Structure formats: structure tokens, C-alpha cells
Chain A
Amino acid sequence: MRDSFYLYSYHRSDGQLWKVNSQNATLGRPLKVSFSDAAPECEIHDEKMFGVGNRIFLYEAFGDKGDRRSGCKAPIPGGVLSMDPETGEVLRRLANGVHFNSLVPNSDGKELYGIDVRHLNWDSIGLVRLDTETGRVLSKKELTPDVWFIDLVSMPRNIVPHGELEAVHD
């Protein structure tokens, strides 16, 4: 699993997942992934995926140009799917009410951090910490209206920025 590579493609709500052999230019048969869609009349434009631990996580991304909440009359659920990469089976759909633009996992994949874009124009933004087993929101924080990007970083304790600082430009 640690050295396994996966390729995912999608068309509407039909996804395909391949395990990639870097020594072989030919893909085998894909696993079918069903991205359950409450609004199939409005085509999904932007899915993102990542892997951590023994799970693949897949979600529809909101807040970018392809956000299908623009112009779609049906309500569009959010959330993130937890998948078994060996079978393609969707194990859980977590945090349906959260419209993620981005997600980053912690080191063991038991928690995810996400940017919740509640409206198309990024005027209502949340930062969410999520339990990947239960879907429970462990912490959340309101962010100022803006476009946000996140990363989880382990850094030397003595250089963690504290207080308000200014960068210096070359």
C-alpha cells in the first residue's frame, strides 16, 4: 500500500480507479466508483482525491469556476467519501453539509482539515477539523471572507510564527 499509486478519472457521477504499475504502460481493469449525486441534472465539474493511511478520500470541490451551485436549482450536497482502494467501495460519506474547497489529512488519516465554502462568492468561510471514522466535526472556526488555502506543517518549534509578523522581500 505504501508504494502503491492510483489513478482516478470521472465522468459525471461515474468514477474509475486504477492501481498503477509504474513498470507497465497499460492500465488494467478499473474499479468502478459511484459518486452518489443528489443533483445529476447538474454535471459535476471538479472532483479531488488524495490518499492517506489505507483509505482514499474523494470529494467534489466547491468555490472554483466549476462550482455547480452556480446555475443549478437543486440543492447540492457537500461532504467527502472515504473509499477502500482495493475494492473501490465507498465506506462512508462524511460531513454532507460541508462544501469543501480543499482538504488536507493529518499523518495517520484519522482527521481531515477542510475549507468550507458556504457560498459561491467566498463571503462565508469555515475552517473545519473532521474525524474520518465518524464524520464528527471536532473543531471549527469562522474565517474572514476571502479565498483561503491550507497546509499542515511540522516545523521546528523555535521558528513557529507567534504574533503579527512581516515578511522581508529581496
Chain B
Amino acid sequence: MKRAGMGILFLLLFFPSKEQDKQLVLLATHRVGRVEVFDPVTLAPIGSIHVLPLANGIGSNPDGRILYIPEGIGPDFKGCCALYALNLETRRMTRLVEPSGGVTVSPDGNHVLTQRGNAGIEVYDGRTFEREAPVPRSVAPGVYDLYYSPDGHLLFGATNWPQPSLDIFDFASRQLVRKVSGFR
């Protein structure tokens, strides 16, 4: 079968911040192990945080206080491919899980999702980083691109494996509510 690609999207809701003390920045992570901070208009550098080597992505919680960074190497130069949370107030990095894939954050920032292959969807508390009840493999058998609905109630998982499908989960109950398939 020819490779097929797919994506599910929801149109992003952006609410203007009522907080006057917010600042928009462009973050750029690179493999050397730094998070660079740029002015979003001029692209001039503002700052830089040395994290860990082989940084492999970046995400954030909605209030911008926590960054999520998949890393290739740990601080002890052991292991691979862990997901870290970086608290920008303390600059402390906390390892959530190893190994991990990409990261998806709920719209309210309370939940952080990742996958370790087709082993279900792992869920972490976005404040304490404690592990929560996962979406088990029996419910979520694929390796997904994951997207929340804007209200956080639904979780959309697009996968090409084991066959192309869009799996729609009720996040609170961790149950599959719809499986849309039959396309390629």
C-alpha cells in the first residue's frame, strides 16, 4: 500500500489575554541542547536556556510557565528519549517518562499526553507531573497524532497503524466514542 498521510486539525481558538503582563515569544529548540528565545517581530535573540543534548521538539502549557521538551540524552548521559518538563520560574527540569514520543497538552494545561509506541496513551498531571490513568492499548491501539477539542472533552487520534483511522476518545472516561475509518 502506498504511504498515505493524514492529519486531523481543529481550528485553533485564541483568546486575547486579559493579563497585561504577558509577552509573546518565539521559542526555538535545537539538538545541541538549547532553547533559544526570539522576539516574534524582529526575530532578534532575547535569551537562551541550556537544557540537554539532542532536544527533539518543544511544547508548552497554555499559561507559558512550563515547557515540554523531548530529549535524546539524560543529564547522566544514560538512557534515551525522555520527556522533560521545564519550569520557567525555577528553571528546573523534571523527567516525566522515558522513552516517549511526542507531547500533547490539554487546553487547560492540566494533562500532558505522550505515547511509547502502540502501547496506549500515557497521561500525566500538568501541574504535579504525576502519572494519571492512561488510555489503555485496548482502547487506543494505534500510534497517534493527538489533538484535543478546544473544550478538552474529546481527544482526536489520527493514525496510519494498524490501519488508517481517526479514533475519537472521550478524555474523561478514557473511552473510544468513534472510530472513523475506510479512507486512505
Partners in one complex: yes
Number of A-B pairs, beta carbon distance below 8 Å = 225
Name the B residues within 8 Å of A127 (CB-CB): 26, 28, 38, 43
Name the B residues within 8 Å of A12 (CB-CB): 2
Distance (whole angstroms) from the CB of A37 to the closest CB of chain B: 14
The list of the 4 closest CB pairs from A to B, nearest first, reads A155-B64, A161-B47, A107-B14, A9-B6
Binding site for A on B (CB under 8 A): 2-14, 16-17, 19, 21-32, 35, 37-38, 40-43, 46-52, 55-60, 63-65, 67, 75, 86, 88-95, 149-150, 154, 156, 158, 164, 166, 168, 177-180, 182-184
Beyond the given A7-B8, A151-B27, A168-B91, could you list 16 further A-B residue pairs with CB under 8 A, ordered by the A residue number? A22-B154, A27-B180, A27-B183, A107-B14, A108-B14, A129-B43, A139-B41, A147-B30, A148-B30, A152-B25, A156-B65, A157-B23, A161-B46, A161-B47, A167-B50, A169-B52
25 contacts between A and B (CB under 8 A): A5-B9, A8-B7, A22-B177, A23-B178, A49-B9, A85-B11, A127-B26, A146-B31, A147-B31, A148-B29, A149-B30, A151-B27, A151-B58, A153-B27, A153-B60, A155-B60, A155-B65, A159-B64, A159-B65, A160-B23, A160-B37, A161-B88, A163-B47, A167-B49, A170-B92
